[in-house]
């Protein structure tokens, strides 16, 4: 074999080996690129899913907060309606005609009087109760000393004894029965869908 043939053969072998190395490098690069694309796609899917989950959870939390706020507002509105109804009850009792108002006060005084007490009339009610209260108390068989008027309460009377002081007024009566009245008012206002 001639020297030229040997050189050519070495050149061909080198070229063939270079082609094999290049192909191998290209295949490795393609595998690396495909692996990188797969990892990027997987990371993209995880990121999108995480963002979707976070958005869903955020929306659910906002919805829950909105529902709680709406419920709280509805409850506050209902409580306001009940409170207005209780206040209106006090106003209506205070607006009764003098004889009916006196009968109301006397019935409540009769329920708490034990004997030996004295009675003070609210200054605002003195003009309505002075003449009719004594008669109503006597008719009910209640013997209480009438001790004048007081500015200590806005309406009604105060029954005072040795160790007791009881306010008998529309506001006190409504406050004393508020729990039961709230149940009735709530049933009337809200159980009917109003």
Q: How many angstroms separate the Cα of 23 from the Cα of each of 10, 11, 81, 187, 192?
A: 20, 18, 85, 86, 84
**HEC-encoded secondary structure of 12-65:** HHHHHHHHHHHHHHHHHHHHHHHHHHHHHHHHHHHHHHHHHHHHHHHHHHHHHH
> Over the stretch 75-131, which tens digit does the pLDDT of each residue have?
888 888 888 888 998 999 999 998 898 889 888 888 888 777 888 999 999 888 877
Q: How far is CA 45 from the centre of its chain?
A: 41
What is the share, in percent, of the chain residues with pLDDT greater than 90? 19
Taking residues 187-194, what's their average pLDDT? 66
- Copy the structure tokens of residue 194: 């109003």
Size of the chain in residues:
194
Supply the pLDDT for residue 192.
58
Q: What is the pLDDT of residues 13-60, one digit of tens each?
A: 778 888 888 888 888 888 888 888 888 888 989 988 999 998 998 899
Q: What is d(CA 2, CA 4) in angstroms, rounded to the nearest whole number?
A: 5
Task: Tell me the pairing of strands 165-168 and 157-160.
Answer: antiparallel
Q: CA–CA separation, 58 vs 79, rounded Å?
A: 31
87 phi and psi, to 5 degrees?
-65, -40
pLDDT of residue 194: 47
Q: 189, 82 in Cβ contact below 8 A?
A: yes
Q: What are the domain boundaries of the chain?
A: 1-95, 97-190
Q: What is the CATH number of domain 97-190?
A: 3.30.2320.30
Residue 113: other Cβ atoms inside 10 A: 21
What pLDDT does residue 1 have? Answer: 62
Residue 38: count other Cβ atoms within 10 Å of its Cβ: 10
- The residue behind tokens 């999108």 is 48
Higher pLDDT, 28 or 4: 28
């Amino acid at each position: 074999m001639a020297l030229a043939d040997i050189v050519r053969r070495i050149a061909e072998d080198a070229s063939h080996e270079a082609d094999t190395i290049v192909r191998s490098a290209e295949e490795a690069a393609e595998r690396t690129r495909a692996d990188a694309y797969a990892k990027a796609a997987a990371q993209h899917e995880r990121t999108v899913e995480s963002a979707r989950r976070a958005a869903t959870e955020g929306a659910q939390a906002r919805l829950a907060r909105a529902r709680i706020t709406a419920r709280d507002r509805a409850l506050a509105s209902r409580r306001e309606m009940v409170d207005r109804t209780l206040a209106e009850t006090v106003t209506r009792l205070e607006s009764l005609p003098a004889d009916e108002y006196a009968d109301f006060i006397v019935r409540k005084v009769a329920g708490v009087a034990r004997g030996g007490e004295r009675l003070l009339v609210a200054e605002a009610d003195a003009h309505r109760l002075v003449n009719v209260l004594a008669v109503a108390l006597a008719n009910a068989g209640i013997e209480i000393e009438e001790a004048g008027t007081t500015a200590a309460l806005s309406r009604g009377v105060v029954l005072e004894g040795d160790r007791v002081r009881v306010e008998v007024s529309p506001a006190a009566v409504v406050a004393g029965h508020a729990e039961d009245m709230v149940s009735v008012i709530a049933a009337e206002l809200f159980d009917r869908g109003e």
